[in-house]
């Protein structure tokens, strides 16, 4: 039996992180330059139904039965098996690799889960549709984040830019003209569940104040939707900066993020903000093609540990 591969891209949130958890809209896009991959193949040396999981990037090499059920890798496999409801499970191995930065706002957890679900279901002869992959990935996201918004599993599974709002129909953005983006990693890691949990506690103490800030962020995402479709970079840049001010008010920025954001602006970016959980991780900047190299170089010089250039382009017509 051949080796079966499952893949999923990373993602970056452009507008609306954190507020999306509280019912406001958010916009995210896939990032093809980073991805998670699973390789699934028979294990002829193990007894029937034995499943070995290898994720050497994080030092994991063990059998599924030896992992706690709430371990994210185990949960992704177990949810897939429960969904398939097969009478017989052959022994197999799952090897997982990823170049998506961990705890940096690029969806590493969701991408790894989606890659596992795709690889395992295809290996067992029942490849799951994207809607099911997204739903199962969301269940694993609850382990990672406690109270996930639902945006990561959708943009990562479908690999398309999305306008997402809880309990609303998922909208894929039909991009008319491309925009160019630079993503820079501070090198500081704060797990998303920590910032989500902390903000949740503060929201519980003062819901009126925080709901008002979330509403302002949601309005920014609403305005950004059409500007992104049309590549109205002047409006997008202004909205990015406004979103960052509000995220800073929520105590989600930090010195390293502030430094990289200001560096990008000084180098000619039209707007910049943190992306994801905050207090470290990544920032994102919008720049014209002529400014991309200057922004990238400036960010490295300012201490970014990694810089990724990407673009949001019109989907090819089929």
Which residues share a beta bridge with 172?
162
Q: Which residues contact 174 (CB under 8 A, 6 or more apart)?
A: 229, 315
DSSP result, the chain: -PPEEEEEEEEEEEE-TTGGGGT--EEEEEEEEEEEEEEEEE-TTS-TT-EEEEEGGGTEEEEGGGS-TTSHHHHHHHHHHHHH--S----EEEEEEE-SPTTSSS-HHHHHHHHHHHHHHHHTT-PPPHHHHHHHHHHHHHHHHSS--SHHHHHHHH-S-EEE-TTS--EE---SS-EEEEEEE-S----HHHHHHHHHHHHHH-HHHHHHHHHHHHHHHHHHHHHHHHT-HHHHHHHHHHHHHHHHHTT---HHHHHHHHHHHHTT-SEEEEESS-SSSEEEEE--GGGHHHHHHHHHHTT-SEEEEEEE-PPPP-
Query: Is beta strand 92-98 parallel, antiparallel or unpaired with respect to 26-42?
Result: antiparallel
The set of catalytic residues is 152
Q: Are 5 and 37 in contact (CB under 8 A)?
A: yes
Q: Are 37 and 98 in contact (CB under 8 A)?
A: yes
Nearest-5° Cα angle at 109, 107 to 110: 65
């Amino acid at each position: 039996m051949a080796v079966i591969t499952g893949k999923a891209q990373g993602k970056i949130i452009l507008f609306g992180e954190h507020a999306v958890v509280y019912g406001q809209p958010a916009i995210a896009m896939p990032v093809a330059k980073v991805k998670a991959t699973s390789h699934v193949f028979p294990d002829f040396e193990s007894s029937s139904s034995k499943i070995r999981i290898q994720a050497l990037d994080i030092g994991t090499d063990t059998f599924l039965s030896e992992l706690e059920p709430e371990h994210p890798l185990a949960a992704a496999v177990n949810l897939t098996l429960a969904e398939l409801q097969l009478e017989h499970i052959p022994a197999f191995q799952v090897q997982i690799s990823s170049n998506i930065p961990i705890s940096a706002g690029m969806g590493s957890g969701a991408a790894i889960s989606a890659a596992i679900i795709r690889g395992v279901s295809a290996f067992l002869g029942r490849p799951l549709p994207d809607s099911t992959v997204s739903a199962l990935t969301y269940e694993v996201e609850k382990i990672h984040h406690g109270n996930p918004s639902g945006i990561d599993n959708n943009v990562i599974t479908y690999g398309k830019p999305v306008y997402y709002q809880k309990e609303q129909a998922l909208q894929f953005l039909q991009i008319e003209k491309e925009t160019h983006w630079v993503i820079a990693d501070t090198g500081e890691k704060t797990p998303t569940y920590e910032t989500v949990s902390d903000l949740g506690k503060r929201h519980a103490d003062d819901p009126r104040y925080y709901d008002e800030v979330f509403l302002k962020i949601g309005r920014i995402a609403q305005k950004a939707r059409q500007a992104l479709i049309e590549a109205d970079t002047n409006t997008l840049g202004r909205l990015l900066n406004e979103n960052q001010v509000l995220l800073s008010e929520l105590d989600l920025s930090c010195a390293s993020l502030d430094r990289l954001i200001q560096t990008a602006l000084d180098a000619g970016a039209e707007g910049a903000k943190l992306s994801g959980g905050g207090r470290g991780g990544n920032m994102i900047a919008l720049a014209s093609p002529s400014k991309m190299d200057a922004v990238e170089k400036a960010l490295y010089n300012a201490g970014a540990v990694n810089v990724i250039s990407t673009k949001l382009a019109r989907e090819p017509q089929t």
